[in-house]
Amino acid sequence: MADGNGSFDAIVVGTGISGGWAAKELTEKGLKTLVLDRGRMVAHGDYPTATKKLWELPYAGRPTQEDLRKQAVAARTGYAVTQATKHWFVDDIDHPYIEKKPFGWIRGYHVGGRSLMWGRQSYRWSPMDFEANAKEGIGVDWPIRYGDLAPWYDHVESFIGVSGQAEGYEQLPDGKFLPPMALNCVELHLKQALADKLGRALTIGRTANLTAPLAHSPQRTPCQYRNLCSRGCPFGAYFSSNSSTLPAAEKTGNMTLRPNSIVYELIYDGRKDRASGVRVLDAETNEQLEFHAKVIFLCASTFGSTFILMNSVSSRFPNGFGNDSGELGCNIMDHHLGVGASATAEGFDDRYYSGQRPNGIYIPRFVNIGKDKRQYLRGFGYQGGAWRSGWTRLLDDTTLGADLKTKAAAPGPWGVNLGGFGEILPYHENHVTLDHSRKDKHGLPVLAFDAEMRENELKMRQDMAAEAATMLEAAGFKDIHPYDGGDQLLGLGIHEMGTARMGRDPKTSVLNAWNQVHACPNVYVTDGSCMTSAACQNPSLTYMALTARAVDHAVQELKRMNL
């Protein structure tokens, strides 16, 4: 095992949403930090299809049969595998996993991780989200409350740039917002109808797309309304590690970034009762290396970090690093989707909108709040919006020549869609394990998933479709179609959480209130694996706030010589 050229103050594993933030915060606080990513290098601007027109892509952008064979899991999303985006997603043949029950694990192995592909929706969790487990006796209690995280939400929002409208909703706290993007005429009509007839709220999505410049990030410019974010944004208009946190870390001179570095194990020093470093497999040379540091941040994504912890076995941790509780790998959560309603909107054909807004609407949770009581726990919100169909509606049209051009030049009818994002409860039985009988291309064991939706979620789905239809009907829309694609497949929400949860008691959780491994305080885990419940809001903003808070704690503990 070769030494990886010296020791560092800190090691960060992963460069996605959480890892980028850990790198930024640690380096800006003066720590010499090694940042490791298992994938290839991608610098800001290395986005090969970002400015290509549809006709400049092979096969009009459509995937080939070979693409679908190699990336069958990502293709389950219905949008990930195209000629414009396929390079961001892993090859399933090289990187397999086992599905004891169907589970869509959507991955991107490159510097920046899924911060390059995320949907950018950035919502704070509310006080009730951190209190629900304790009040309902579900899972374990969060060891923190909203007040603990509120200043870190402020800190994160101020840096990444979140556009949105302050509304004063109790179940969806306001943040530090850039100017909001505009609702279109049909969305404004729906907003008014919901308020007048149902007493429900609708707001523009809160998205990490800039609507004004940020003085601290001159390399980023406001959104161009191209709606091509999934390709990578050369303008830096949306927040990613590549455009934002990693450049900030590099600017300090304290970051050493090493791509193609697969961390497969933590090194445990029994004499000091601490982790002394990590073992790395070079993805290009297969050389095995060791790197050492005083503090380690695991930010490799929920299942990436869980893999590392499970694969780190010693006499002290025979069942996986920090797994005294037996909860490591358990309590898999996601957000279920693929359910809602759509409609057409008549009476607005004389109006249109400017640009291709890369953002939709948001309807905050309204079930199981106050006097509203349902036959299930927790709730859901809706994302969606209204739009006018374009020329692609004519792909099957039999019109030819000048008449077809005339049709294509005119906008199509207005459509509206409301898609639900529902909370999934933490179930110990929903778990992932290591399977040593099968290996990936690097000879490492693979993960095996055994998780499913249960009665609470299935009851919720019925309401998610019915309430969406009710709201569209209240707005007077036509051709209302409730839908539930039967899409009970976990993973496709791409909000996986919970496999190394935080908690108050080391007997029932892996991490403490500061994201430290209970049994080894110099290891912090701040990606989605740390989550104790799922709420119904997109979780990435919370990962960022937790990471910044954890780094602040780690630096203070290092100064006190507690780590």
Residue 6 pLDDT > 80? no
pLDDT of residue 399: 87
Residue 417 pLDDT > 80? yes
Dig out the tokens for 86 from the structure: 């396929």
pLDDT of residue 5: 63
Query: What is the rounded CA–CA span in Å between residue 475 and residue 193?
Result: 5
The sign of the CA dihedral 395, 397, 401, 406 is: negative
Query: What is the rounded CA–CA span in Å between residue 321 and residue 499?
Result: 13
pLDDT of residue 7: 84
Residue 4 pLDDT > 80? no
Mean pLDDT of 511-521: 98
Query: What is the rounded CA–CA span in Å between residue 254 and residue 249?
Result: 7
Dig out the tokens for 440 from the structure: 């990936």
pLDDT of residue 428: 98
Contact call for residues 132 and 324 (beta carbons, < 8 A) = no
Query: What is the rounded CA–CA span in Å between residue 401 and residue 411?
Result: 18
For the chain, give the percent of residues with pLDDT over 70. Answer: 99
Q: What is the pLDDT of residues 452-469, one digit of tens each?
A: 999 999 999 999 999 999
3-state secondary structure of 45: coil
Contact call for residues 220 and 36 (beta carbons, < 8 A) = no
Q: Which helix (H) or strand (E) holds 8?
A: strand 2-13
What confidence tier does 120 reach under pLDDT thresholds 50, 70, 90?
very high
For the chain, give the percent of residues with pLDDT over 90. Answer: 93
Mean residue pLDDT of the chain comes to 96
Mean pLDDT of 324-352: 96
Mean pLDDT of 241-264: 98
**Going from the N-terminus, what domains does the chain have, and what CATH number goes with each?**
1-89+109-126+239-333+496-563 (3.50.50.60)
Which runs of consecutive H residues, i.e. helices, occur in 197-301? 246-251
Count the Cβ atoms, other than its own, within 10 Å of residue 177. 16
Per-state percent for the chain, helix, strand, coil, to nearest 5: 30, 25, 50
3-state secondary structure of 307: helix
Query: What is the rounded CA–CA span in Å between residue 552 and residue 24?
Result: 11
List CB contacts of 329: < 8 A, sequence separation 6 or more: 306, 310, 320, 431, 432, 433, 499
Residue 178 pLDDT > 90? yes
Residue 2 pLDDT > 70? no
Query: What is the rounded CA–CA span in Å between residue 511 and residue 500?
Result: 7
Q: Which of 339, 543, 491 is nearest to 421 (CA)?
A: 339
Half-sphere exposure of 451 (CA within 13 A, CB side): 32
Which DSSP string corresponds to 497-550?
A: B-TT-B-S-TTT-SB-TTSEETTEEEEEE-SGGG-S---SS--HHHHHHHHHHH
Which runs of consecutive H residues, i.e. helices, occur in 137-245? 146-160, 185-193
Q: Which of 210, 268, 278 is nearest to 37 (CA)?
A: 278
What confidence tier does 394 reach under pLDDT thresholds 50, 70, 90?
confident
Dig out the tokens for 527 from the structure: 């990606």
Count the Cβ atoms, other than its own, within 10 Å of residue 381. 26
Dig out the tokens for 234 from the structure: 């050369």
pLDDT of residue 407: 86
What confidence tier does 3 reach under pLDDT thresholds 50, 70, 90?
low
Mean pLDDT of 31-46: 98
Dig out the tokens for 384 from the structure: 């969606």
What confidence tier does 1 reach under pLDDT thresholds 50, 70, 90?
low
Q: What is the pLDDT of residues 49-67, one digit of tens each?
A: 999 998 999 999 999 999 9
3-state secondary structure of 245: helix
What confidence tier does 486 reach under pLDDT thresholds 50, 70, 90?
confident
Radius of gyration of the chain (CA): 23
Q: Which helix (H) or strand (E) holds 455?
A: helix 455-474
Please state the length of the chain.
563
Q: How are beta strands 177-178 and 162-163 bridged, if at all? A: parallel
Count the Cβ atoms, other than its own, within 10 Å of residue 285. 9
Q: How are beta strands 203-204 and 361-363 bridged, if at all? A: antiparallel
Residue 488 pLDDT > 90? no
Mean pLDDT of 367-383: 97
The sign of the CA dihedral 364, 496, 47, 544 is: positive
Dig out the tokens for 401 from the structure: 């020549």
Mean pLDDT of 146-173: 98
pLDDT of residue 489: 79
What confidence tier does 393 reach under pLDDT thresholds 50, 70, 90?
confident
Residue 9 pLDDT > 60? yes
